[in-house]
Structure formats: structure tokens, C-alpha cells
Amino acid sequence: MNYDAQRFLSILLSITAILLLSVVATTQTQAQTNIFSGRAISINATINGTNAILNDTGNLPSSGGFIARSLESGNLFGGALTTGRLDAITQGTLDQSRSQAIVENLNLNVGGNLITSDLVAASSQCTCFESGPPVCDGNVLIAVLRINGVQIPIGTSANQTVNLAGGGTVVINEQIRTGAGNTASLTVNGVHVRIPAVADVIISSTYSDIACGSAPTPTPTPTPGGGVSFSGRAISINATVAGVNGTLNDTGPLPSSGGFIARSLESGNLFGGALTTGRLDAITQGTLDQSRSQAIVENLNLNVGGNLITSDLVAASSQCTCFESGPPVCDGNVLIAVLRINGVQIPIGTSANQTVNLAGGGTVVINEQIRTGAGNTASLTVNGVHVRIPAVADVIISSTYSDIACGSASAPVSVSGRVLNSSGRGVYNAIVTLTDSSGGVRSTITNPFGYYRFFQVAVGETYTLRARSKRYVFMPQVISPNSQITGLNFVAKQQ
């Protein structure tokens, strides 16, 4: 399967769902007291005594920071191990160390075994809290893992083991934890293949470690009555066909006090087989300063209104976060693997609300996003795939909703956007500067997909933003924000 490189933002910011999602917790320990460690490696393979590594971030400095690496494809051991795109990120910031690794289109032929997967993604994160020990979490997302032609059902627990017929094992979502007191670490290996005396191959390996200090922390302004107020919900399938509604795998509403609700089903079947799925997962949670929800549908098959719509994977996520000052911010995205409508594979864009018209009438909306809120409240609904056929069907695949009320919004806001080349692809490591009217300059560096963000930007000021890159030229922009600004993009001038 070929994914557009920019779609990996879905994974890195929202695979959560699936796996991680960062928490910028203003109620937690101050960053300067924490010591970070981390690393992400897409491929770490030893075959017949020879070791080779592909796409390694190297070690994260103890002071934290951000390291990202990517390759368009991989080929090792004379073609015995080939891949599509590889991505790896490790970072330490504020109260959290986290790492992510991704491998597309794995093909491993070793020891008489053929192991393939459309996608193997792993993540680990370790977080400090205002009180108590640090906590580490990790998970994997694996799309269509086959061993010797047999598709392997992916469980929800760590360290799922599959025995190879000729000897050896494949461990899925391998997790190794260490730590005590104010330190904690977690290694997550997406897929770990061991064949004695032949091979030891790790696909998508991440490591996160943090040592937490004890400095007191500022807390966000509470909402009236005390505390942040949450709302959220995740539904894997919400479908109305010929006037009959059916839902599959619904978390139900999240209580206003927050918490954690997870639901899963091994498979789904509605409307006499007109809609079938593989595994379904849904999560909604509210904790500290964030409300977030995720929904996943595997192996979708929808036959409705003379249309056949299939996908290997539809995953959606939404999150709304309170900050120490400024209004709450909501973000969401989707990850879709091989969406076909009537046999035609649909290229997945990077923008929300991508619409495909059906030949016989109706639409399919991909990454449908609906935002509401003002002041100290914000909400976001993300629908992975939304099929509407008038008078016939209204079917939502992977629907998430997140809502948060943070208390009184303060003056400072955030400014964010992307730096793009003339073809619309993100520019990595571009320097973006924000200069105020008195000449004060702040700067940041874009991530691998061209995204940047400035926090704590005062309203009522006039600022000049500039983007710089060795390869491209961009026009400066002048802003006077009175609320949060998103989508402030720089597009390279034609050379």
C-alpha cells in the first residue's frame, strides 16, 4: 500500500488512538526538572550474524528536544527484508518523553518464513505528574499482518506470541518496562521475529525514559465549580440504512468528571451482511487537561445503494486540550489504509472534509471535521468516513467526539500552520520566526511534515512571521491576533 508521506501526521499526532497522543499537561511537573531519554528505530535486524539498522533517530539528549528521521524505502540482506516508507521520532518536552516508529509495506523472507504487513507502527511515552511516580504507556497499530500467508488477528494485550512452524517466534506489541521511584522507562517493539541461530528482527522499535523532578507546578484556572469539565464519545459504526439505525461498539458519553471508557468487538455485521467489519475499537477519556477519543474499524465492507465501499483500516481521533493560558485547542485526524469505492482506490488527501461524489448520487466524506466552541470551551467531531446516499443510507465509520471546558480563557493565544513547498508538501527543518513590534524575536523549527506552532502569543500586538529554508523562498506575513490562529501557511514561491 502506498501512503502519501504527509499522511503520517495522522499517525504521529493521532495514532494515539490507537496509541499515543501527547498530553501537554499544565498541572504537571515543570519541564526543566525532568531528565529525558529516548530512541526510535524503524528496522533493527540481525540475520545470519550480520546486523543492520534502518532509520534510527539515535539517542535523545537528557535535556530533551526533537529528533525525526525518515526514509522513502528500505532494502536489506539482498532483498530478504524490504519496506516502503519509514518514519521515526523521539522527543522530550515539558513533562513527557515519547517515541514513535513506523514501517510501511513490510516484506521479510527469513528462515523459510514470509512475514508481511501493510503497516507496523509503535509508540511509547513516559509522563511525569505533579505527585506520584511517572507513568509509561505504549501500543502498536498493525494493519494486515500475515505469516506464511495466514493473517494474524491482533490482540489488545502486550507480548502476543505466535509460534513459527519451523521453530522461532513472532512477538507482537512486545513491551519491556523498567524503573522505580521517580524514573520509568518503556520499550515497545511492534513486531519482533526470533529464529534461533538465524534471525533476530525488530520492526518499529521505540524507547522512552524519564526521570521526574519535584518542582511545584502552576495549575490552569479552574472552571466555575472547580476543575476542568469533559465530554466525549467514540463509536466505531453508526449506520442508518433504509430507515433502520444500527450502531456497533459505542463507548457511550464520557462523564463530565472525565475517566476512561474503552469498547471493542472482534467483528461486526449489520443489515444482513450489507455492512461487515473486522475488529472494532473505541476509546474516550478525560484526564488532567485533555479530552480525547479514538475509534478504529478494520476490514470494512459496505454494500449499499449499488455501491461497494471497502477499506483495510479506518481510524479517527479527536482531542481538545486546555492550556495554562489562552483558549482550549482541538486537533483531529484520520488514518485510512486502502479505501476503495466500487473497486477504485481513493487517494487520501491531507485536508479535512475531502469529498468523493458517488456516480448514482450521494457522497463519501473523508476526515469529516465539525468544530464548535467559544471562550473557554471547545469541541471537535471527527468522522473517518461518512457515506450519505439520499433516502437510502447515512453511514459513519469511526466517529469520535471530544469536548472540554477549561475555565476563563486568558489573553495569550497560539499561532500555527505549515510551511509548504510549491507542490504542497511539508518542508522539514524550516525556521519560522515571530517578530513583535518592538523587535523581539521568537523562533521555532518545523517538524517532518512542515508544521509549526507558537504558544503564548499576546493579543492586540502586531507580528511579522517569516519562514526560511535553504531550498525555498517564502513571503513574510503580518498578523494582529485577537484569538487563536490556525492554518497560517507559508507556500514557497516558484523559482
Residue range(s) defining the domain that contains residue 444: 413-491
Quote the pLDDT of residue 110.
94
- Would residue 216 count as lying in a domain? no
Same domain, 58 and 114: yes
Quote the pLDDT of residue 491.
93
Quote the pLDDT of residue 249.
93
Calculate the alpha carbon distances from 233 to 14, 17, 40, 191 in Å: 16, 13, 32, 31
Same domain, 256 and 374: yes
Q: With 0-12 CB in 10 A as exposed, 13-18 as middle and 19+ as buried, what is 224? A: exposed
Quote the pLDDT of residue 62.
87
Same domain, 284 and 393: yes
Quote the pLDDT of residue 270.
94
pLDDT tens for each residue of 412-454: 678 888 999 988 888 887 888 888 888 888 878 887 778 888 8
Quote the pLDDT of residue 179.
84
Name the domain count of the chain.
3
393 forms beta bridges with: 241, 389
User: What is d(CA 78, CA 456) in angstroms, rounded to the nearest whole number?
Assistant: 51
Residues 170, 193 contacting (CB under 8 angstroms) = yes
Same domain, 384 and 250: yes
Same domain, 156 and 304: no
Domain at 471, CATH number: 2.60.40.1120
pLDDT tens for each residue of 19-69: 333 333 333 333 347 889 999 999 999 999 999 999 999 998 888 887 888
Quote the pLDDT of residue 227.
57
| Residues 6+ away with beta carbon under 8 Å from 438 | none
Residues of the chain with pLDDT under 70: 1-32, 130-131, 214-227, 407-412, 494-495
- Would residue 349 count as lying in a domain? yes
- Would residue 17 count as lying in a domain? no
- Would residue 41 count as lying in a domain? yes
- Would residue 165 count as lying in a domain? yes
Quote the pLDDT of residue 407.
64
Same domain, 352 and 436: no
Task: Single out the residue of 383, 388, 344 nearest to residue 366, CA to CA.
Answer: 383
Residues 408, 238 contacting (CB under 8 angstroms) = no
Quote the pLDDT of residue 414.
81
Quote the pLDDT of residue 127.
84
pTM attached to this predicted model: 0.48
Quote the pLDDT of residue 219.
36
Quote the pLDDT of residue 311.
94
Q: With 0-12 CB in 10 A as exposed, 13-18 as middle and 19+ as buried, what is 15? A: buried
306: left (phi over 0), alpha (psi -120 to 50) or beta: left
- Would residue 342 count as lying in a domain? yes
Same domain, 350 and 419: no
Residue type, 7: R
Residues 467, 396 contacting (CB under 8 angstroms) = no
User: What is d(CA 324, CA 470) in angstroms, rounded to the nearest whole number?
Assistant: 35
Same domain, 312 and 200: no
DSSP letter (8 states) at residue 17: H
Calculate the alpha carbon distances from 461 to 434, 435, 438, 452, 479 in Å: 11, 10, 10, 20, 8
Domain boundary among 363, 388, 405: 405
Same domain, 50 and 197: yes
Task: Single out the residue of 401, 284, 376 nearest to residue 322, CA to CA.
Answer: 376
- Would residue 1 count as lying in a domain? no
Domain boundary among 154, 183, 211: 211
DSSP letter (8 states) at residue 437: T
Same domain, 350 and 421: no
Same domain, 250 and 194: no
Same domain, 362 and 297: yes
- Would residue 175 count as lying in a domain? yes
Domain boundary among 405, 429, 451: 405
